[in-house]
Amino acid sequence: MYHKMMMDIASIYFEGRSLFPYWDDELLEKWKINYVTVLNKINEQTTLTEFYCIIKKWVAILNDGHTLIYLPEEIKQQGKFLPIELTLIEDELVICSALPEYKNLTFLPIKKIYNLTTEDFINEVSAHFWKSNLNVSLTNFQNHPSFLFPDDSFWIEFKDGITKKVNLLEQPVNFDAALVSPILMNHKNLSVSEAIDIYIIENKALIKIKNFMTPEVVTEFYRTMPLLEQVDEVLFDIRKNFGGNSGFANEIAQAFFDGPMKTEKSEVQNFNAQVYASATQLFFNRLELNKDTQIFYDALQYQTLITEQEDDFYPDRAGLLSDTPVKIIMDDQTYSSSENFVMIFDNVQRASLIGSTTAGSTGQPALIKLETGGVFMVTAKKVAYPNGTEHHNIGIKPDIEMLRKIVDQNNDVILTNLLLK
């Protein structure tokens, strides 16, 4: 196993260096230093769990939402699961959903968890996932919590003084922590797909898209087109949408545009072996690289990128709702292709954006199989707005900020207010 670990470390280092499109000099140097540090930490007594804890933390220094380590089945099968769901609201760590034993503790601000202050706990979790997005990190952590914290139980201390022991479970719980709007209780969901809910509420269409993973999300949207063509406004809700296939997102967006849509500006590493060879000769006898000849310097620093302006067009879908006003509700877990969806509209101010700033990560990742059974996922495509505006680790800001509040609990006040206007 030790030799497989060493092979995996090398694969992560070199594949990451060759694919990741967000390098600068400082980050590349940090990547190299941590590579050596990781090599020195591994020995023949290192367990598989220890190994993955080390490499997850190493990869997390790239601070990218599409760059992480997936655990091997051997580790996942040993794991236990939380009977609660954690989230950050108003900068407070709270339980937003729970099994009956813990229901009375929901939405109480937490002071300590796993014998850590909430700040230290969140820092520890995000250090293994994505430092720029704490709620996405919490979501990823909760898929395999006992990987980071192996005890079968832990204590939570709440700010109001209550303490509670939490026992982990043998099987995962599929929490239904969806926000609830009383208005929807009197209206039928017109969709038959789990990926999308469609409601007609008086003169408005509410379309809640949970993901863009399957073609059914497109099929269901266009199946209800005769009804959508009659409304005065379309309201998309893509909060907590972790994305999927950008093509499906683009195909839905096409209904609101008569012609081709500008979707993104993309950049990928452009490796030219001849330029790289010349660079090695140019800098061979120099103690330090310098930027006298930028093209050769960039080649050695893996910062030569090729740029493409991407667009998309579905003629049969074009302009069916081109005159219909659009609003999009989003949050800090509007991520990946759902963020691409927002960009298409926002690039030409075609929609009013409402809610909170999006996650800040789109891009096509590569999946590198590891010898020890896991997977190294690394972003291979750098993405920005078609006009070049950056959103990586920044997110897309709303036109109208409407933030979730603890006092609202699971009541969807934001959606209810928008439907009543």
d(CA 272, CA 306): 11
Tally of structural domains, the chain? 3
Q: What is the pLDDT of residue 177?
A: 62
- CA distances to 83, 85, 118, 156, 212 from 143, in Å: 12, 10, 19, 19, 20
C-beta contacts of 283-292 below 8 A and 24+ residues apart:
none
One domain for residues 148 and 198: no
d(CA 388, CA 372): 39
Identity of the residue numbered 121: F
Domain end: 120, 136, 167, which one? 167
Q: Are residues 350 and 254 in contact, defined by beta-carbon separation less than 8 angstroms?
A: no
- CA distances to 128, 191, 195, 204, 227 from 223, in Å: 42, 9, 14, 17, 9
For residue 385, what are the contacts with CB-CB under 8 A and spacing of at least 6?
A: 264, 265, 343, 346, 347, 391
Task: Quote the tokens at residue 40.
Answer: 């020195």
One domain for residues 234 and 351: yes
Strands 110-113, 116-117: pairing kind = antiparallel
- CA distances to 6, 27, 68 from 64, in Å: 24, 12, 8
Residue 140 inside a domain? The answer is yes
| Residue-level length of the chain | 421
User: For the domain that residue 150 is a member of, what is the CATH number?
Assistant: 2.30.42.10
Domain end: 14, 43, 76, which one? 76
Other residues' Cβ atoms within 10 Å of the Cβ of residue 33: 11
Residue 371 inside a domain? The answer is no
One domain for residues 227 and 329: yes
One domain for residues 129 and 12: no
One domain for residues 224 and 162: no
One domain for residues 163 and 237: no
One domain for residues 122 and 270: no
Give 273: exposed, middle or buried? Use CB within 10 Å, 0-12, 13-18, 19+. Answer: exposed
Task: Quote the tokens at residue 179.
Answer: 């926000």
Other residues' Cβ atoms within 10 Å of the Cβ of residue 318: 16
Question: Which of 152, 159, 145, 162 shows the shortest CA–CA distance to 104?
Answer: 162
One domain for residues 248 and 347: yes
d(CA 234, CA 229): 10
Other residues' Cβ atoms within 10 Å of the Cβ of residue 153: 9
Q: Are residues 58 and 129 in contact, defined by beta-carbon separation less than 8 angstroms?
A: no
d(CA 94, CA 122): 12
Residue 409 inside a domain? The answer is yes
Task: Quote the tokens at residue 142.
Answer: 């909760």
One domain for residues 302 and 212: yes
The continuous run of DSSP H or E covering 354 comes out as strand 352-355
For residue 325, what are the contacts with CB-CB under 8 A and spacing of at least 6?
A: 232, 233, 234, 352
Residue 144 inside a domain? The answer is yes
Q: Are residues 74 and 161 in contact, defined by beta-carbon separation less than 8 angstroms?
A: no
Which letter does DSSP use for residue 61 in this model?
G
Q: Which residues pair with 167 in a beta bridge?
A: 153
- Print pLDDT tens along the chain (421 aa): 899 999 999 999 999 999 999 999 999 999 999 999 999 999 989 999 999 999 999 999 999 999 999 999 999 998 899 999 999 999 999 999 999 999 999 999 999 999 999 999 999 999 999 999 999 999 999 999 989 999 999 999 999 999 999 999 999 888 866 678 888 877 888 887 889 999 999 899 999 999 999 999 999 999 999 999 999 999 999 999 999 999 999 999 999 999 999 999 999 999 899 988 988 888 777 656 666 678 888 888 889 999 999 999 999 999 999 999 999 999 999 999 999 999 999 999 999 999 999 999 988 999 999 999 999 999 999 999 999 999 999 999 999 999 999 999 999 999 999 998 7
Domain range spanning residue 55? 2-76
Question: Which of 385, 389, 361, 292 shows the shortest CA–CA distance to 20?
Answer: 361
One domain for residues 127 and 19: no
d(CA 33, CA 28): 9
Residue 225 inside a domain? The answer is yes
User: For the domain that residue 294 is a member of, what is the CATH number?
Assistant: 3.90.226.10
Domain end: 18, 49, 76, which one? 76
One domain for residues 293 and 203: yes
Name the one residue in this structure whose structure tokens are 């409407």. 402
d(CA 117, CA 104): 21
d(CA 74, CA 408): 41
Identity of the residue numbered 17: R
Task: Quote the tokens at residue 162.
Answer: 């209550």
Residue 300 inside a domain? The answer is yes
DSSP assignments along 261-293, one per residue: EEEEEEEEE---HHHHHHHHHHTTT-SS--SSS
Quote the longest CA-to-CA distance of the chain.
76
d(CA 33, CA 118): 30
One domain for residues 127 and 98: yes
Residue 175 inside a domain? The answer is no
Q: What is the pLDDT of residue 289?
A: 63
Residue 156 inside a domain? The answer is yes
Q: What is the pLDDT of residue 175?
A: 81
The continuous run of DSSP H or E covering 142 comes out as helix 134-143
